[in-house]
Amino acid sequence: MTTSRRGRGLLAVSAVSAAATVLAMTAGGADAAQNAGAEGKKPAPAEKPAAGKERKGNYDARTPNARTTYARSAKVEGNETAAAKKFRDSLGSQGVVEVDPNTGTPAQVTKLNGFLTGKSAKKATAVALGYVKAHPEVFKLSDADLSTLKLRKDYVDDLGTHHIFWSQVVDGVEVFGNGLKANVTKNGQLISVMGSPVSGLATAAQSRSAAAASKLTAAGARTAAITDVGGTTKSATATASGGSTKWSNGDTAKQVWFHTADGLRKGWQTYTNSGGTRFYSHVVDAQTGATLYRRNLSSEGNGDALVTDNYPGAPKGGTQRVENLTYNKWLPKNAKTLLEGTSVAAFADVNDDNQPNAGETVKVPGTKTTAEYKLTPFPDAQALCSTSYICTWDPAKPDSWKTNLNQDVTNGFYLASNFHDWLAKAPISFTPAAGSFDAAGGDPVLLNALDGAATGADGGPDVNHVNNANMNTPPDGTPPTMQMYLFGTAGDKSTVATSSSNAADILYHEYTHGLSNRLVVDATGNSTLNSIQAGSMGEAWSDFYALDYLVSHGLEKDTTAPGEVLEGKYVTGGGTIRTQANDCRVKAVSPNCVALDGSKGGYTYGDFPTIGGTPEVHASGEVWAQTLWDLRERFGRSYALSIITRAMELSPADPTMLDMRNAIVQADLVASGGKNADVIWTVFANRGMGWYAGVIDGGDAFPAEDFHKPPTGATTTLTGTVKDKDTGAPVAGALVYVGGHSSGYAGDYAGSTDATGKYTITGVAPGTYPKVVVSAPGYELLVQPVKITPGTQANFVPRRNWAAASGGGTIAGFNGPDFSSFNCGPSGAIDNAQGTGWGSTTGDDNGTPTNKMIDKHVDVKLPAAVTISAFNVDPSNTCGDPGSASTGKYRIETSADGTTWATAAEGTFDATNRGKYNLVTPTGNTTGVQYVRFWMLSPQVPDFETNCPAGAFGGCQFTDMTELQVFGTK
């Protein structure tokens, strides 16, 4: 029997799959939300239950793990020519040149304190292409390569900036993800060039086409993609046209080229809806059917109608009023039976099949004499029900949601249509050209109100369809689906019994995921909000834009006093689903500006991993949301919204918060000539995102904060050596880079070691950098602070990791299921990267929920017999599973021959051990070791025996660990 391996739960988003975001009740999850009262008291930290359908995580064969990326970057850095170095140095101390480790071409070329070119009367496209042609030493594109560029989009934002996208096309087939992006001001100044274009593409494509023809059909690719995520292929009519196939249920498939460091592959790019929240984009290898790319697209949140602008019972916008849906051009004049409008199509998807079935659609409201769909309150449904927070159903009477079905769907339709129009206006200017959601463009929002309201055994929602909301965002041209759930359960004393379609802040939060996922994209339009840093900003943008709307319309109060702007105020009866208010300044004094640990004041960058107790996109994103509100207070909403939105369009792929800080500085450069740069740097430095702040890459959940603005004066050179800590031998081919100024790419603030272990990094501003990173195959990832002054030498002595696959370690055996096809098989435990790991089941191989652990082990053969000094373990959840799937109890055994085993260490990990390496000192049996066995003895489900299997914790099904390292001497 094939095991159905499904990833995360709706309320628990992994660090490597931030695109799959949901609303999430408080940083501590739904359990913690039960403790939040009407006074807005923050909940105590609690384990986050899965409370939803488990979904598979993201995967990209171009960057399968961080270690592989670092090794490729070191090779690219080592091959840098003198001409390329001269070009990089010519950009100055705030220039940025990051080179893609797969293509060897720039992922980003830009400057923070100026433009790449002067003013020009030429077309924007000519300015950008002229620059690329003038610098072959960096872009490495021949005339043949330039001829593969096809202009895909050139739109102008409200500042007059051209955002230009070229895809690369050979034989009528587009390259997935790679190409060129350029941003040019209205005065013809080049801001940046991005995209990682493929050099030598035509030759590679010709060679690949001659080597192997495609074996997989479009239908076969669709089936392979759906099977990959544990879905079932539904019968649908297919229509083929121009190399693409579209099915009647909305699934699509088209041929693409897919470029990896190992060469060019022919593939099928698919978009599939496998039911529920399983909306995915794939690239499937056309020869083998293997998954090359997987992205979870779900982001977790006549015409007279009665609608509310805020929430039922709110002091402002809480009373139903009449809104004509036709007059506002949200519905066509001839609309009668369906709420199928110009930007939104809404229905009640109570059985969660993503289809408008009989009884789920709503007649267009309004008669000749009256507006329709008056809300019926349920005042006695729960303790928090009141005239200020009106309940709209009774969880103790599950079918009671039917009473307000028409009102619920109609209100959701109104809010989504209204927000569409608001985002389209300046200064946000989210227009069809920029990727907005419109019926005319073939991608209106498919709003599933009351999603899953009838999925429970008693006619109400099951545990997977309550206290949440989500939205998936496929690329431009494919409709997104917004799923709005009921809130409240029987006996719940802390959540208002209502629905998310009646909560403007929640619906607007979900809608904004569409904005960010359509603006932060690669050259071919795919969202790149993947890592925990990028995903945290995705959640923060959603809170910020939603609350900005409510405040700017006078629907919520925001005076000079802090602690007033609350996300989730309605559903918590006056509290918040976050840990703090959005307007908490640093050191602010307010009951709503107190962290879970009792510390007072808004957050800074160093709080990122601890805001909700452990790193998690909704909680970690609060520092970004508060920083954006600081900008709003300093500049006013109009200018702040302008540069914040424009920065998304200027962003590199999968940005860190520091990358996006830089993009906001650039947006101001475009808007004002940079006159506000000092104020912007002051705001970010105040939040710990100053010039010397450090982050390893987008997956770093433990950034180092700094409170300095950019230094002035001359730059210097950093040199040093990298040697093996135990042997003293030089380590060649190691990548050395300054985290926060380089993200594991070759380029600025980065260098690689030669055969003697020596490296050189030029053009570095003096100061103390908290995260200088060293990465080498077969060694630990070493991170340490360095104070750089003229003549500084920084030497590094990483330890050999004998378990690492890149250093000769191999998997000798394991028990339990093999989830290698899900990119989380046993080899993930020794790939020396924390972005991937080993995922297994808690009980039987089929993932049946249980409260009895069937112990799982993985055996690692070291490349030589070793005397072990220490182990390093990251016990974190992986494979898209929630935090409760992390390893709790563990045991490490050693062996000389792989047959006779003895205990070397044992203990228990908890939530504080997640997302980082934990040094484990052996207690014995450390000499002559060639085999190491790691046992997972329990998940981190609180009160495991009681909470499983009936509870909603993902750890009841799956138990994972991320990495095992072994240190010692040969």
List the CATH code of the domain at 305-501.
3.10.170
Q: What is the average pLDDT score of the chain?
A: 89
- How many Å apart are CA 190 and CA 194, to the nearest integer? 12
Q: Which strand (E) or helix (H) includes residue 723?
A: none
Report the pLDDT value the prediction gives residue 747, as an integer from 0 to 100.
64
For residue 229, which of 269, 287, 275, 265 has the smallest C-alpha distance? 275
Integer CA distances (angstroms), 963 to 124, 771, 915, 956, in order: 47, 21, 10, 21
SS (H, E, C) 502-549: HCHHHHHHHHHHHHHHHHCECCCCCECCCCHHHHHHHHHHHHHHHHHH
Specify the amino acid at residue 708: H
Instruction: State the Cα–Cα distance between residues 970 and 905, nearest whole angstrom.
Output: 20
Amino acid at 589: V
If you search the block for the tokens 């004066």, which residue do you land on?
A: 713
Per-residue confidence (pLDDT) for residue 276, from 0 to 100: 66
What pLDDT digit, counting tens, does each position of 774-808 carry? 999 899 989 999 999 998 999 999 999 999 998 99
Give the pLDDT band (50/70/90) at residue 14.
very low
Instruction: Return the residue matching tokens 């199928």.
Output: 340
CA distance 577 to 31: 12
Res. 26 pLDDT band, cuts 50 70 90: very low
Q: Which long-range contacts (CB under 8 A, 24 or more apart) does 145-148 make?
A: 145/197, 145/198, 145/199, 145/200, 145/201, 145/202, 147/202, 148/175, 148/201, 148/202
Smallest CA-to-CA distance from 407 within 376, 362, 364, 373 is with 373
- Residue 744 pLDDT grade (very low, low, confident, very high; cuts 50, 70, 90): low
User: Which CA distances in Å does 613 have to 22, 576, 745, 912?
Assistant: 18, 17, 31, 8
**Has residue 212 got a pLDDT over 80?**
no
Proportion of the chain in helix, strand, coil states, percent, rounded to 5: 25, 25, 50
Ranges of each domain in the chain: 66-197, 305-501, 716-788, 805-969
pLDDT digits (tens, 9 = 90+) for 831-874: 888 878 999 999 999 989 989 999 999 999 999 999 999 999 99
Task: Decide if pLDDT at 55 tops 80.
Answer: no
Separation between Cα atoms, residue 97 and residue 627, nearest integer Å: 27
pLDDT in tens, 329-367: 999 888 877 899 999 999 999 999 989 999 999 999 998
The pLDDT of residue 16 is: 26
For the cut 60, the answer to whether the pLDDT of residue 168 exceeds it is yes
CB 956 within 8 A of CB 881: no
Per residue in 682-740, pLDDT (tens digit) is 999 999 999 999 999 888 899 999 999 999 989 999 999 999 999 999 999 999 999 99
Q: How is residue 166 annotated by DSSP? A: E
Give the model's pLDDT for residue 716.
94
Closest CA relative to residue 466, chosen from 483, 447, 486, 491: 486
How many helices (H) does the chain have, and how many strands (E)? 17, 39
- 435-470 pLDDT tens trace: 999 999 999 999 999 999 999 988 899 988 999 999
pLDDT, tens only, 397-437: 989 999 999 999 999 999 999 999 999 999 999 999 999 99
Task: State which H helix or E strand residue 705 sits in.
Answer: none
Class level of CATH domain 805-969: mainly beta
Comparing CA positions, the residue from 665, 683, 682, 663 lying closest to residue 673 is 665
Task: Assign 548 a pLDDT band (cuts: 50, 70, 90).
Answer: very high
pLDDT at 1 over 80: no
User: What residues pair up with 693 in beta bridges, in sequence order?
Assistant: none
State both tokens at 112: 């923070």
Which has the higher per-residue pLDDT, 35 or 516?
516
715 within 8 A of 752, measured Cβ to Cβ: no
Q: Which of 228, 344, 244 is nearest to 281 (CA)?
A: 228
Among the listed residues 724, 747, 725, the one whose alpha carbon sits nearest the alpha carbon of residue 736:
747
What is each CA distance from 417 to 86, 134, 344, 346, 880, in whole angstroms?
52, 46, 6, 10, 32
pLDDT band at 51 (very low <50, low <70, confident <90, very high): very low
C-alpha distances in Å from residue 65, one per residue of 833, 834, 836, 960: 6, 8, 6, 17
* Cα–Cα distance for residue pair 54/88, rounded to 1 Å: 45
Question: Do residues 449 and 348 lie in contact, with contact meaning Cβ atoms separated by under 8 Å?
Answer: yes
pLDDT of residue 280: 86
pLDDT for the residue 39: 30
Token pair listed for 947: 């909470």
Under CATH, domain 716-788 is a member of which superfamily? Answer: Carboxypeptidase-like, regulatory domain (2.60.40.1120)
Return the residue matching tokens 């998954």: 291
Structural contact between residues 481 and 354, judged by C-beta atoms closer than 8 angstroms: yes
Question: CA 59 to CA 467: how far, in whole Å?
Answer: 28
Question: Of the given ranges (143-157, 267-281, 345-359), which has the lowest mean pLDDT?
Answer: 267-281
| Region 768-775 average pLDDT | 95
* CB environment 652-673: b (16+ within 10 A), e (fewer): bbbbbbbbbbbbbbbbbbbbee
At 428 the three-state DSSP class reads: coil
> Nearest 5°: phi and psi at 933?
-115, 125
Give the pLDDT score at 27. 32
Q: Is 119 exposed, middle or buried (0-12, 13-18, 19+ CB in 10 A)?
A: exposed
**What tens digit of pLDDT does each residue of 623-660 get?**
999 999 999 999 999 999 999 999 999 999 999 999 99
pLDDT category of residue 67 using cuts at 50, 70 and 90? low
Tell me which H or E stretch contains 283: strand 279-285
Beta strand 445-449 with 344-348 is parallel
Distance in angstroms (rounded) separating the CA atoms of residues 904 and 890: 11
Q: What tens digit of pLDDT does each residue of 364-399 get?
A: 999 888 999 999 999 999 999 999 999 999 999 989
**Beta carbons of 132 and 119 less than 8 angstroms apart:** no
Least confident of 36-45, 156-165, 533-542: 36-45
Q: What is the rounded CA–CA span in Å between residue 265 and residue 255?
A: 11
CA gap 98, 83 in Å, rounded: 15
Beta bridge partners of 153: 165
Q: Within a 10 A sphere around the Cβ of 730, how many other Cβ atoms?
A: 16
Check whether the bond before 949 is cis (ω within 30° of 0). Answer: yes
| Local structure of residue 730 (DSSP, 8 states) | B
- Looking at the predicted structure, is the pLDDT value of residue 512 above 90? yes
Query: Using an 8 Å Cβ cutoff, are 296 and 530 in contact?
Result: no
pLDDT band at 102 (very low <50, low <70, confident <90, very high): confident
